[in-house]
Amino acid sequence: NAGVTQTPKFRILKIGQSMTLQCTQDMNHNYMYWYRQDPGMGLKLIYYSVGAGITDKGEVPNGYNVSRSTTEDFPLRLELAAPSQTSVYFCASSRRLNTEAFFGQGTRLTVV
């Protein structure tokens, strides 16, 4: 049972480059999330989705875009990478908004 799978695990980007962080889940969860975690900080919500075709901004959406074309996949797009986007990114999913979220293994992104 794979749960939530993120790729890649590590990535180094140059300033101004773009990339997509992939996330897929096999639990048939409607709700999916992208969080970022900076050293010594908690998880900050970037975007979330309540189902295919529906996305909404979280606390720190600037510089990111998302799409949700299927229940399983929720990719996160960085268009113009900036050093401030150096962080660990976690994708998560849940059955409902008020139930526990299950996390992927994370993507460690460095922008230089």
* Residues near another protein, by CB under 8 A: 31, 33, 35, 40-45, 48, 58-59, 90, 96-106
Identify the CA nearest to 70 among candidates 92, 56, 54, 94: 54
Give the whole-angstrom CA distance, residue 82 versus residue 25.
28
Cβ closest to another protein, residue 52 vs residue 60: 60
Cβ closest to another protein, residue 14 vs residue 56: 56
How near is the Cβ of 16 to another protein at its closest, in Å? Answer: 28
Cβ closest to another protein, residue 59 vs residue 79: 59
* Per-residue CA distances from 1 to 16, 23, 25, 75, 107 (Å): 37, 15, 10, 20, 20
How near is the Cβ of 103 to another protein at its closest, in Å? Answer: 4
How near is the Cβ of 28 to another protein at its closest, in Å? Answer: 18
Give the whole-angstrom CA distance, residue 10 versus residue 34.
16
